[in-house]
Amino acid sequence: MPSYTPPLRDMQFVMHEVFNATETFKAMPRYAEVDADTINAVLEEAGKFAAEVTFPLNISGDGEGCQLDQATHEVTPPKGFKQAYAQYVEGGWPALSCETEYGGQGLPFVVNQCLYEMLNSANQAWTMYPGLSHGAYEALHAHGTDAQKKTYLPKLTSGEWTGTMCLTEPHCGTDLGLLRTKAEPLPDGSYKITGNKIFISAGEHDFTANIVHLVLARLPDAPKGSKGISLFVVPKFMVNADGSLGERNPVFCTALEHKMGIHGNATCAISLDGAVGTMVGEPNKGLAAMFVMMNAARLGVGNQSLGLTEVAFQNALAYAKDRLQMRSLSGKKAKDKEADPIIVHPDVRKMLLTARAYADGGRALQVFCALLLDKAHHHPDEKVRKESDELVALLTPIVKAFITDNGFAATNACMQVFGGHGYIKEWGMEQFVRDARINLIYEGTNTVQSLDLLGRKVLGDQGAVLKKLGKLIGQLVQEEGVNEQMAEFINPIAILGEQMTKFTTEIGFKGFQNPDEVGAAAVDYLRVAGHLVFGYMFARMAQVALRQIAAGSQDPFYTAKLQTARFYFAKLFPEIYSLMRTARAGSKVLMETDAVLA
């Protein structure tokens, strides 16, 4: 059976020592009183909930799955899931970073992200039930009417109700311009919505009295394509004026998807048969409102893979220390035993260190982005809000795609450490791999994220925000450029930072002549950008570790951070050279292949 220990020290290191979060909070009146002790205490309790309540349900939930009653359209999640959710609500966890006016605790978003990293490590399938509610909350908070906010936000904040996002249809996934769900106006200002949705995570369950669906649909006179999409809030049960629940809305789960992983989550096919909803935002501008939820979900999916990377690493490390297999190539290490533990073998260490590096880099990037979001929403300086929002928009596809690609590679590597036992269910490793695989697919496949990054976020504004990121990296390079101890961490990002401008310009010029060039280069380009950002994160972490050691610290924690950073730059970062070469290879070898693909 696997185990899980919340990585509280690693979180504290990134939040307090690398990014000095509490100093950032002091500039925001709503968070000015939030101190490190408060954050640490909250996360310690969050870790206990994840490790003691939801983690023990992970393997059993995977084996049991969800059950649909075809007659009633009701879904029963695995045993223990509902009770764990009740404890979650009782502990006030859904309200952690929600607004106080709706019953929230008003803590910074970065605290909520750390909570969710631990929940994802413990049980990704379970975590998706409350997780999507945050996106629904954000979309309604940003674009909902006063009446919608009054009706739905207090219940989503408390966790009494949960939320979903209903986008995908059987004939269209990412290309939402093709969706067919219809919304017909009713005399009272509401809408009758008819259509079918698929792949709706947490679309039906018995945790809560009501489920709040955010649904994309078309008005009768809507323009074709994505410019004709509106957003509607469609509750499972209608809500009366006094807040009580009314009649059942005809929005039903008609089937459960049979999936490779996340079996404990109800991934539903949803039928809307004249379900009544109210419009969120303006007519035909539903995508703008839904993107609030989609972007929150993309950061959340990156967090899912971060959580799985961490728990897979912990278990692979423990196994490698214990498992005896052959002798070290450089001579016996465990002389009192019949063989050496496999952790002495270089390639086993490479697999373990890959997972460790991807967890450390992913966590630093997640915390960095969460702090940017806190500033984008609550900093008093408009310029700071704008620049923070621009940076997090640039980084969102990297968080989603780079961290999930890395997470799948890391969980695979950790399963490999177990050898044949990794392929056996009771060790838990194969579940981490299966659960991690979906993260590369949903909320926009990683290819879509790459096209978003290169086509929209970088080339779309002639690299303006990319230059701001480069300036941030350049400040660290200038600060530490003459420090010999930092050279092994600074030089690689300094060189890549200079190369990125030429690399980007070259692809952009080729793409202007032939748009397929952008499509051919995008995935490789995102990984190069991901390594640039991770490189910056590791340089920041190494900087702190070196300063602590120079100040006399004997804590092996800092030595470990340096060793991880050295491994990353030596073994993982050099991938950029092959990626830039393949990106520059162009589209011809892909598109002029009709004979192969006939």
Kindly state the tokens that stand for 494.
């300094």
pLDDT of residue 287: 87
* C-alpha 451, offset from chain centre: 18
Kindly state the tokens that stand for 526.
């995102």
Please check whether residue 541 is in contact with residue 565, taking contact to mean a CB–CB distance below 8 angstroms.
yes
- 204 an active-site residue? no
The fold of 162-284 is Butyryl-CoA Dehydrogenase, subunit A; domain 2 (2.40.110)
Between CA 428 and CA 432 the distance in angstroms is: 7
Per-residue confidence of the chain (598 residues) as pLDDT tens digits?
899 999 999 999 999 999 999 999 999 999 999 999 999 999 999 999 999 999 999 999 999 999 999 999 999 999 999 999 999 999 999 999 999 999 999 999 999 999 999 999 999 999 999 999 988 999 999 999 999 999 999 999 999 999 999 999 999 888 888 999 999 999 999 999 999 999 999 999 999 999 999 999 999 999 999 899 999 999 999 999 999 999 999 999 999 999 999 999 999 999 999 999 999 999 999 988 888 878 888 999 999 999 999 999 999 999 999 999 999 999 998 899 999 999 999 999 999 999 999 999 999 999 999 999 999 999 999 999 999 999 999 999 999 999 999 999 999 999 999 999 999 999 999 999 999 999 999 999 999 999 999 999 999 999 999 999 999 999 999 999 899 999 999 999 999 999 999 999 999 999 999 999 999 999 999 999 999 999 999 999 999 999 999 999 999 999 999 999 999 999 999 999 999 999 999 999 999 999 999 9
pLDDT of residue 496: 98
Kindly state the tokens that stand for 292.
């609030």
Please check whether residue 262 is in contact with residue 435, taking contact to mean a CB–CB distance below 8 angstroms.
yes
Between CA 427 and CA 58 the distance in angstroms is: 12
pLDDT of residue 19: 98
Same CATH topology for 8-143 and 162-284: the answer is: no
Instruction: Compute the radius of gyration of the chain from its Cα atoms.
Output: 24
Angle, vertex CA 302, rays to CA 565 and CA 38, nearest 5: 75
Kindly state the tokens that stand for 262.
């996340």
The structural domains of the chain, with segments of one domain joined by +, span: 8-143, 162-284, 445-590
Q: CB count, 10 Å around CB of 72?
A: 9
Kindly state the tokens that stand for 343.
């952790």
Residue 503: closest CA among 589, 576, 451: 576
From residue 132, alpha-carbon distances to 150, 160, 289, 478 in Å are 19, 14, 15, 41
Which residue's structure tokens are 């009192």? 336
From residue 253, alpha-carbon distances to 163, 166, 211, 293 in Å are 15, 12, 12, 22
3-state secondary structure of 257: coil
Which residue's structure tokens are 């959340």? 300
Residue 320, CB-side half-sphere exposure with 13 Å CA sphere: 23
Between CA 26 and CA 234 the distance in angstroms is: 39
* C-alpha 258, offset from chain centre: 23
Q: Determine how β-strand 161-166 pairs with β-strand 210-217.
A: parallel
The fold of 8-143 is Butyryl-Coa Dehydrogenase, subunit A; domain 1 (1.10.540)
Q: CB count, 10 Å around CB of 99?
A: 17
Residue 384: closest CA among 57, 24, 95: 24
Exposed e or buried b per residue across 527-562, where buried means at least 16 C-beta atoms within 10 angstroms of its C-beta: bbbbbbbbbbbbbbbbbbbbebbeeeeeeeebeebb
What's the full length of the chain, in residues?
598
Please check whether residue 135 is in contact with residue 156, taking contact to mean a CB–CB distance below 8 angstroms.
no
Angle, vertex CA 60, rays to CA 157 and CA 255, nearest 5: 70
Exposed e or buried b per residue across 470-493, where buried means at least 16 C-beta atoms within 10 angstroms of its C-beta: beebbebbeebeeeeebeebbebb
Between CA 482 and CA 42 the distance in angstroms is: 40
- Where are the alpha helices (H) located in 13-108, listed in sequence order? 21-26, 36-49, 58-64, 81-90
pLDDT of residue 244: 96
**Helix (H) or strand (E) segment spanning residue 271:** strand 267-280
Catalytic residue among 443, 479, 506, 592: 443
Please check whether residue 58 is in contact with residue 128, taking contact to mean a CB–CB distance below 8 angstroms.
no
| Maximum distance among all Cα pairs of the chain, rounded to whole angstroms | 84
